[in-house]
């Protein structure tokens, strides 16, 4: 594979990593952001130190430390950054070895240690709560708050139903009481009276013959509610009435407020379908505090969604389009930025390719969170660029270095396995102690944050399953952005030690 193709793959991958982390990375000073930053920093530094020391103590081949760090912490950006540093000449191969030999050592270290880095971390995360006597389910429930009103997990089965009022009892209850009892904060309700569609809040009492249109999750429609009258077809109401869109939170006045405080159904007349943070869907909860860059998927009248967008941030309906101009410019700017360097004590110091692309991606990702109409890169497109770029880059590296992998494994396999286990285990335990004793992060959030600091989505699934809650995902998203950036930088410089 040509070096040009590898460079394209590397650029796509690292830029996408930065773009993904941008919205959260620059919010480090908001709320618990500092805690997650320092947790990710401690785990990255401990993994970095263990990898360097293990390579020296066990007398492993030059370059192996980068593979140990990447594999032990399951971080592909670390691997790509280290290999690119050698391939581009940013780091001079030590001991008279060729670039291909160093890259082979990096690849071997990664391939051997990645298995335990993935499976071992899952096992540790699974048994750690039991060993420490932590009740994750109880902690998750306490954090969620038992008084979460009508909050539920993300709802996918949404339906529209209509009823004609025939029960005289419902005409005797004030509409505010009906709203409080049946649909407040849970459903979007519209009322048709005398052929005109009105908001229930503008009338005091229902009348016989009123037709009520309800948009809600399927579980909302209880037998008690159905007693209001006969169910009628909702088709005549629905054409053009309801729209679906994503609202990106950017308003500083909204950041920090809870879903319960906003009460979207009552305030804006829209139904909240899901909440995503750092592309992770998190549980809807009246206690959930919104952060900049959160994506709220809502359904309701188009005009109401637009009104909500004006208050919370920006409505993003064109979610399938990619801003290719900004994307291409961002990559080009990252490459150029990586070319600049300064002389310090006779040593040339610069960002390098990885640092330049990462910085460019971070900036554009952040600007996208501030102005969601700028630099649009849908999750699906970002995933393709990221994975396809890594695939091209790794394929080229593998073809060049694959011939030496078996020989290296035979000579140093056991040492690599031992070193990899240390690189995985030590950061987990240090991170847990630091997070609990110094940062005072609740255990259920901390375990999620540790999986984020080690960029392991598979381990996050284990924590959320054990907690029977999506609360750990909040910790994961808090640390993941910082970890990706820190570990990419670590990959670029580890071969200097």
Q: Is residue 348 predicted with pLDDT exceeding 60?
A: no
Identify the band that residue 148 occupies on the pLDDT scale cut at 50, 70 and 90: very low
Strand, coil or helix: what is 371? Answer: coil
More confident residue, 398 or 441: 441
Q: Cβ contacts of residue 177 below 8 Å, gap of 6+? A: none
Identify the band that residue 50 occupies on the pLDDT scale cut at 50, 70 and 90: very high
Averaged confidence pLDDT in the chain: 81
Identify the band that residue 106 occupies on the pLDDT scale cut at 50, 70 and 90: confident
Q: Which residues pair with 265 in a beta bridge?
A: none
* Structure confidence at residue 404 (pLDDT): 61
pTM, rounded to two decimals: 0.67
Identify the band that residue 294 occupies on the pLDDT scale cut at 50, 70 and 90: confident
Q: What percent of the chain has pLDDT over 90?
A: 11
Domain residue limits, the chain: 3-142+343-496
Nearest Cα to 418, choosing from 81, 59, 154?
59
Q: Is residue 376 predicted with pLDDT exceeding 80?
A: no
pLDDT tens per residue across span 63-85: 889 999 999 998 888 888 888 88
- Chain-centroid distance, C-alpha 244: 22
Is 478 exposed, middle or buried, given 0-12, 13-18 or 19+ CB atoms closer than 10 A? buried
Give yes or no for a contact between 198 and 269, defined as CB atoms under 8 angstroms apart: no
């Amino acid at each position: 594979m040509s070096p040009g193709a590898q460079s394209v793959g590397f650029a796509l991958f690292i830029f996408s990593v930065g773009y993904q982390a941008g919205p959260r990375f620059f919010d480090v000073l908001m709320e618990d952001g500092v805690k997650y930053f320092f947790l990710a920093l401690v785990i990255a530094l401990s993994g970095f130190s263990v990898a360097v020391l293990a390579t020296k103590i066990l007398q492993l081949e030059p370059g192996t430390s980068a593979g140990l760090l990447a594999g032990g912490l399951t971080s592909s950006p670390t691997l790509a950054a280290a290999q690119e540093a050698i391939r581009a000449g940013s780091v001079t191969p030590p001991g008279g070895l060729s670039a291909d030999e160093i890259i082979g050592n990096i690849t071997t270290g990664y391939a051997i240690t990645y298995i335990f880095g993935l499976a071992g971390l899952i096992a540790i995360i699974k048994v750690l709560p039991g060993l420490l006597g932590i009740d994750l389910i109880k902690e998750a429930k306490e954090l969620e708050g038992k008084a979460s009103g009508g909050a539920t997990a993300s709802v996918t089965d949404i339906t529209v139903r209509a009823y004609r009022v025939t029960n005289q009892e419902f005409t005797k209850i004030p509409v505010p009481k009906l709203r409080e009892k049946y649909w407040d904060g849970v459903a979007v309700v519209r009322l048709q009276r005398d052929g005109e569609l009105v908001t229930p809040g503008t009338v005091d009492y229902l009348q016989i013959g009123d037709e009520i249109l309800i948009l809600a999750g399927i579980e909302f429609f209880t037998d008690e509610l159905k007693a209001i009258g006969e169910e009628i077809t909702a088709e005549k109401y629905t054409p053009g009435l309801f729209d679906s869109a994503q609202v990106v939170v950017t308003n500083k006045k909204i950041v920090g407020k809870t879903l319960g405080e906003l009460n979207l159904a009552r305030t804006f007349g829209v139904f909240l379908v899901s909440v995503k943070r750092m592309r992770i869907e998190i549980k809807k909860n009246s206690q959930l505090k919104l952060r900049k860059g959160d994506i709220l998927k809502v359904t309701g009248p188009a005009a109401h969604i637009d009104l909500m967008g004006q208050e919370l941030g920006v409505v993003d309906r064109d979610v399938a389009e990619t801003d290719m101009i900004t994307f291409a410019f961002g990559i080009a700017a990252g490459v150029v930025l990586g070319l600049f360097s300064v002389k310090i004590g006779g040593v040339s110091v610069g960002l390098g390719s990885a640092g330049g692309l990462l910085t460019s991606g971070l900036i554009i990702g952040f600007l996208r969170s501030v102005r969601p109409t700028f630099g649009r890169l849908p999750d699906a497109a970002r995933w393709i660029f990221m994975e396809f770029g890594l695939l091209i880059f790794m394929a080229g590296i593998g073809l060049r270095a694959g011939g030496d992998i078996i020989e290296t494994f035979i000579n140093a396999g056991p040492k690599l396995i031992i070193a990899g286990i240390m690189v995985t285990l030590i950061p987990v335990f240090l991170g847990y102690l630091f997070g609990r004793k110094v940062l005072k992060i609740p255990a259920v959030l901390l375990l999620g944050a540790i999986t984020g600091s080690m960029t392991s989505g598979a381990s996050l699934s284990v924590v959320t399953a054990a907690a029977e809650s999506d609360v750990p995902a909040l910790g994961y998203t808090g640390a993941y952005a910082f970890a990706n950036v820190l570990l990419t930088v670590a990959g670029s410089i580890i071969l200097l030690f």
